[in-house]
Amino acid sequence: MKNGYKKRAMVCAMLALLWALGLTACASSGNKEKNTSDTTAETQTELQEKEEASMTQTELQEKEEVNTDQTELQEKEEADTEPETGSGSNILVAYFSATNNTEGVAQKLADGLDADLYEIMPEQPYTDEDLDYGDSNSRSSVEMDDPDARPEISGTVENMEQYDTVLIGYPIWWGEAPRIMSTFIESYDFEGKTLAAFCTSASSGFGSSDSALRTAADKATWLDGKRFSAGASEEEVMEWADELGVVPDSEF
């Protein structure tokens, strides 16, 4: 009886010990799980923070892109209304160019003279169809058939008073300056300024292509104009500028 009691007591003690050990194990495994879930929670938070940070970066990037777009738009608007100024030059080279030939000559002139450059931009750009001189109903044909046509210009030269000399470039259309050049000339007061026209053409000479412009700005001093080929060199265009006497410190 005594031995049986002892045995039972030992079994109970062992069971208690096993339970205690089990609890400890559970507790430590619980801690582990807690630790794991803590780690998971931390990782999730970190991830979330990272996501938020990257979202913010994306948002920032988008914002920057929007800002860049806005700046570009603003710059474009300013470019449309203002010549490329900054040189403080008193010479402006203003040109219209439908297919970029006259633009090349105008840029060489402006570079050589360190002058400001202004592109006369049509409110409604000319398409290839508009420029089809083989079609009597094309926009350019219709405009050139009407001496009173005045295609609208997008933008203006705000600081025209800054310039003493304005060199005016255009392509020859049917032997004349395109009507948009009349729109340009009639938009400003050129009294007291020196003006000279230059043009590019397929083969026609300068002729009297600037006669309508001279009539419109008859209080300006007009110098002899010049026709250039599309690929005229800077030497060629600067020779003409030198003949005009508008090169500041002439090397030509």
- Site of interaction with ligand FMN (CB under 6 A): 97-103, 131, 133, 140, 171-175, 200-204, 230
Name the residue nearer to ligand FMN (CB basis): 116 or 176: 176
Residue 210: CB minimum distance to ligand FMN, A: 14
Name the residue nearer to ligand FMN (CB basis): 117 or 247: 117
Residue number with the shortest CB distance to ligand FMN? 171
Name the residue nearer to ligand FMN (CB basis): 131 or 216: 131
Nearest to 223 by CA among 198, 199, 195, 243: 195
Sorted by sequence, the CB contacts under 8 Å of residue 211 that are 6+ apart come out as none
- The Cβ of residue 186 has, within 10 Å, a number of other Cβ atoms equal to 12
Name the residue nearer to ligand FMN (CB basis): 103 or 210: 103
Q: Tell me the C-alpha distance between 224 and 215, whole Å.
A: 14
Residue 248: CB minimum distance to ligand FMN, A: 26
Task: Return the exposure string of 28-40: e unless at least 16 CB atoms fall within 10 Å of the residue's CB, then b.
Answer: eeeeeeeeeeeee
Residue 50: CB minimum distance to ligand FMN, A: 55
Name the residue nearer to ligand FMN (CB basis): 30 or 205: 205
Q: Tell me the C-alpha distance between 45 and 41, whole Å.
A: 6
Report the chain's terminal Cα–Cα distance, integer Å.
134
Residue 71: CB minimum distance to ligand FMN, A: 29
Name the residue nearer to ligand FMN (CB basis): 107 or 200: 200
Residue 205: CB minimum distance to ligand FMN, A: 8
Nearest to 161 by CA among 109, 245, 85: 85
Tell me whether strands 153-154 and 121-122 are parallel, antiparallel or unpaired.
antiparallel
- The Cβ of residue 220 has, within 10 Å, a number of other Cβ atoms equal to 21
Residue 109: CB minimum distance to ligand FMN, A: 13
Structure tokens at 192: 């007291």
